[in-house]
Amino acid sequence: MRLRDVFVKALKELGIDCISTEIKRITESDDPLQSMAYHVIMGKAQVCRGLKGKVFNLNQECENPAYVGKCDDPILTRNDLLEKAKDFPFIVIDCSFYDFHTEKEKKKLKLQIQQCLGVIRKFMWDERLVITHKDFGVGVFYPSTAKFIKEMGLKDIILLDPNGDEVFEGQRAECYIIGGIVDKTGNKRGWTSKIGENLRREGISFRSMRIELRGDVIGVPDRLNTIVEIVLRVVLDGEDVEKAVRSVQSHLVAKWRLRRELPKRTIRIDVNGKPFRVVRKSEIKSFDWLNIRPKDFYEACSELGYLVIDDEWLERILRNSTFDESKNRYIFKGFN
């Protein structure tokens, strides 16, 4: 359930069957109901009785209309909606390693955090994004993750960590912590676990979880905004992890995973004593769980030095070969 769904439910409970607004930012948005909910919860507008501007029907009728705007006697305010939305989780980006990044990485980190806010607004609202240790003027700033957790009295916490102990399958928590880390230079492997160690030293208990795609973290995009989107799609929309990963997976990240998978799909053939590794052309269909285009498949095969062969041709070649078990390869004898 996104904030939009909580908002619609609240309107229906008030007997409202259509909602309207004159606010342009709402009418022009991709998701007007989420945008209305956002305006109300951020205190920029309220829900008032009557019709004004563009109408969005919640049912077939429009007998009890309301509008999002300003009035003296609102029927739904920021505080009402905050109360109804109090179970939404917090997303914390822990930037305790900010100073260990290069200037270029720091810029990337800032950009990714701004993009996280864009994601948060599709599902919730700004106050659910908490940035610790470094203030980027985005979301809510806290000097440390431990301070935020203690002040809010949060108990149920998940640290998203590629080296985490458990696999994330949509487990619910009051707070999800993501490392404000950009992996462009140097070796930052294990830094997220260090964030965890520091939290433990502060007396915070949490579960650490890794997001996997078919048993491996390779292929899971690691940009902060994509991690936020995966978590929210799974936890709030109820999507399965594989679908959520695929929806934010770039072709580049998909190709990294493809390169890891391809060696398992090759056939070894010796032609005139020269060894070749070949891939059936139809294998491309078995990678429909990755966000790859045909071009990516052929490029990855070529980069790995594999030949892609039409299935019919490959069958002909194999029919004219013998299989050498000791070498685990076919020996091509030539066409009859």
Ligand X SMILES: C[S@@+](CC[C@H](N)C(=O)[O-])C[C@H]1O[C@@H](n2cnc3c(N)ncnc32)[C@H](O)[C@@H]1O
Tokens of 175: 């707070």
Token look-up 């005139």 returns: 272
Question: In whole angstroms, how close is the CB of 94 to ligand X at the nearest point?
Answer: 8
Residues that bind ligand X (CB under 6 A): 160-162, 178-179, 181, 183, 188-192, 210-211, 217, 220, 222, 224, 227
The span from the CA of 141 to the CA of 144, in Å, is 9
Instruction: Give the amino acid at 288.
Output: D
**Torsion sign, CA atoms 150, 154, 155, 161:** negative
Backbone conformation region of residue 239, classed left if phi is above 0, alpha if psi is from -120 to 50, else beta:
beta
**Residue number, 6 or 181, with CB nearest to ligand X:** 181
What contacts 23, CB < 8 A, 6 or more positions away?
39, 45, 53, 68, 69
Length of the chain: 336
What letter does residue 100 receive in the DSSP assignment? G
- The maximal CA–CA distance of the chain, rounded, in angstroms, is 91
Q: Please enumerate in sequence order all residues whose Cβ is within 8 A of that of 76, keeping only pairs 6 or more positions apart, or say none.
A: 10, 11, 14, 40, 46, 47, 66
Instruction: For the CB of residue 52, give the shortest distance to ligand X in the complex, in Å.
Output: 43
| Residue closer to ligand X, measured from CB, 47 or 181 | 181
Nearest distance from C-beta of residue 19 to ligand X, angstroms? 37
* Residue closer to ligand X, measured from CB, 192 or 266: 192
- Least separation in angstroms between residue 295's CB and ligand X is 26
178 vs 267 by CB, closer to ligand X: 178
Q: What is the DSSP string of 164-220?
A: -SEE-SS---SEEEEE----SSS--TTHHHHHHHHHHHTT---EEEE--BTTBSTTS
Q: How far is CA 210 from CA 14, 194, 236, in A?
A: 41, 15, 18
Nearer to ligand X, 40 or 116 (CB): 116
Nearer to ligand X, 119 or 220 (CB): 220
Cβ proximity to ligand X: between 248 and 278 the closer is 248
- For residues 233, 235, 236, 240, the Cα torsion angle rounded to the nearest 10 degrees is 50
**Minimum distance between the CB of residue 210 and ligand X, rounded to whole angstroms?**
4
Q: Looking up tokens 């890891």, which residue turns up?
A: 260
Asked whether the beta carbons of 82 and 124 are under 8 A apart, the reply is: no
To ligand X, the closest distance from the beta carbon of 238 in angstroms equals 19
Output the residue with the shortest Cβ distance to ligand X: 179
19 vs 224, which CB is nearer to ligand X? 224
In terms of CB distance, is 100 or 313 closer to ligand X?
A: 100
- At its nearest, how many Å lie between ligand X and the CB of residue 90? 14
Q: Any idea what the Cα angle at residue 17 is, between residues 64 and 123, rounded to 5°?
A: 135
Query: Least distance from C-beta 23 to ligand X, angstroms?
Result: 35
Smallest gap from residue 299 Cβ to ligand X (A) = 24
